Amino acid sequence: MNEPSAEPVSRWYRWLILLIISFVCFGTYYIYDSVTPLKGMLQDSLGLTSADYGLLFSAYSVANVFLFMVLISGLLVDRLGVKRSGIIFSLLCAIGSGLTALGASESLPSNLGPLYGWLDGVSPRAWSAELKVMLVGRMIYGIGAEAILVLANKVLARWFLGKELALAYALNLSVLRLGTASALFFQAPIALRFGVVPALWFATFVMGGGIAAYFVYIAVEKRAGRALEMRQAEAGLRSEEDVFRWREAFSFDATFWLITLLSLCFYSAVFTFQSYAPDFLSHKFGYGAVLAGTYATALVWGTAFFTPIFGWIVDKRGKRATLMIIGASLCIPCYLLLALTRLHPVVPIFFIGMSLSLVPAALWAAIPMMVPASRLGTAFGVVNWIQNVGLMLFPWIAGKIADIHTTVENVAGEETMHIDYTMTLMLFAGLASAGLVAALLLKWVDRRRTDGISIENVIKV
């Protein structure tokens, strides 16, 4: 039997792998924002506050931060292999999503039996049993989702190393944003037609499609893997195993830490805003749940369209630090316009999406340039861990600020809640400003490097 040729890998196999892995990640992003258009409905049905809603996003990162699961997942990928670990992580996403739907169900007391009373009484008692089950589900999902993203980064680095790495990352990010857009677009209509709980179960169904896609990836990997190894060996691209090492986490230079700081501030601002955007649009502009969710997708469409373009620019021209500066600075006036004016919100939201194209397209492609291949797992692990610290804290903080500025009016015997999101949006503007400072310092430090490495000017990764 003839050995597989290396040629197919250099042509369409890599893009097939990219498509499959991106679809798996699509499911994780759909789950993340499956609750975003349902904030008002969840508050009405479960009596949640804005801070409680924020906890649904904070819970995503709790285990990743305090139990270091986002770091451990990289080790598990190395120990178990891509195939087995990917199946496990995908199942965790589906299980977590299912628990979230179960927690929102009216039948939870009968489903849990005596356990329901115990959950209701266990600390913190301010949280209902329903909220506690949902938080556990979101935490389990967060472990699986972050691990899937770590796995995807490693898979793409393996298949595109020495090729169009920035473009591959950019196209992957575009598909992820389509997962968010789909959740924002479909979840509210599904909830209005069938109910909140069926809408949450639908997210689990979407992840089921991602699990099925992963089995397709395993088949493709089995067919083309040996050919890939042959091509890498011929090109001299074989690297040491990129296992996470704590001692190496403290040996990165200032360029790496400034990129990490930018990642923390930028993603905390954009993703937290995205989580509250439909509810903000409902309260400030009076849009219904479906229209608010539809307008919120403007952020994602800007990202999905521009990210591959900026990824191509990075591959051809470099200019990573400049793109990060432009992306971070673009967010600030958009948040201020949303907070202080009544300009149609689609315009600034779309440009926030454009910034979410500029920064990641340059940021993730810069990391493999700054660290040796043998330390790439450590580098990605540190960035993701610190990013999760922000994703844990700021959704809850944003919710607490929203609660402070919430008023309840009694109109014709019915209570109407109104939330003023002005100060919450100012928080996002402040985070974006901190990210801009980090990006400016990054370019300044990069210009003064003496080791011949420049994330601004070097094109090939």
C-alpha span between 128 and 122 (Å, rounded): 10
Is the per-residue pLDDT at 377 higher than 80? no
The mean pLDDT value for 69-80 works out to 80
Residue 3: pLDDT band (50, 70, 90) is very low
- DSSP secondary structure string, 152-178? HHHHHHHHHTTSSHHHHHHHHHHHHHH
pLDDT in tens, 47-69: 999 999 999 999 999 999 998 88
Q: What CATH number should be reported for the domain holding residue 299? A: 1.20.1250.20
Give the pLDDT confidence of 94-113 residue by residue, as tens digits: 999 999 999 999 999 998 99
How large a percentage of the chain has pLDDT more than 90? 57
Tracing tokens 């904070």 back to the chain, one arrives at 58
For residues 353-375, average pLDDT: 82
Phi, psi of 460 (to 5 degrees): -75, 140
Give the best-scoring range by mean pLDDT among 3-7, 9-13, 86-90, 118-122. Answer: 86-90
Give the pLDDT score at 370. Answer: 78
Highest mean predicted confidence (pLDDT) among 30-44, 153-167, 302-316, 438-452: 30-44
405: confidence class by pLDDT, cuts 50, 70, 90: very high
Instruction: For residue 11, count CB atoms less than 10 angstroms from its CB and return exposed for 0-12, middle for 13-18, buried for 19 or more.
Output: exposed
Determine, yes or no, domain membership for 21: yes
Residue 330 predicted with pLDDT over 70: yes
Does position 213 have pLDDT exceeding 90, yes or no?
yes
Q: How far, in Å, CA of 90 to CA of 174, rounded?
A: 20
Give, for 405, the enclosing helix (H) or strand (E): none
Measured over the CA atoms of residue 188, residue 22, residue 152 and residue 376, the dihedral's sign is negative
- Residue 88 domain boundaries: 7-447
* Mean pLDDT value across the chain: 87
Structural domain count of the chain: 1
pLDDT band of residue 230 (cuts 50, 70, 90) is low
pLDDT value at 249 more than 70: no
Q: What is the DSSP letter of 452?
A: S
Quick check: is 391 in a domain? yes
* Average pLDDT of the segment spanning 300-329: 85
Tell whether 189 is covered by a domain.
Answer: yes
Span 148-165, average pLDDT: 79
- Residue at 104 is within a domain: yes
State the pLDDT at residue 320. Answer: 86
Task: Tell me the two tokens of residue 64.
Answer: 């990743």
pLDDT score, position 246: 67
Kindly state whether residue 328 falls inside one of the protein's structural domains.
yes
pLDDT at 392 over 80: yes
Global confidence as pTM:
0.88
Query: Of 314, 417, 404, whose CA–CA distance to 359 is shortest?
Result: 314
DSSP 275: H
Q: Is residue 255 part of a domain?
A: yes
**pLDDT of res. 251:** 75
Instruction: Please state, for a pLDDT cut of 70, what percent of the chain lies above it.
Output: 88
| Position 308 in a domain | yes
Distance CA 62, CA 240 (A): 31
Phi, psi dihedral angles at 418 (to 5 degrees): -130, 130
pLDDT in tens, 6-22: 444 546 778 888 999 99
Q: Is 274 helix (H, G, I), strand (E, B) or coil?
A: helix
Residue 166 lies in a domain: yes
Whole-number Cα distances in Å, 60 to 97, 105, 345, 392, 445: 11, 20, 28, 7, 33
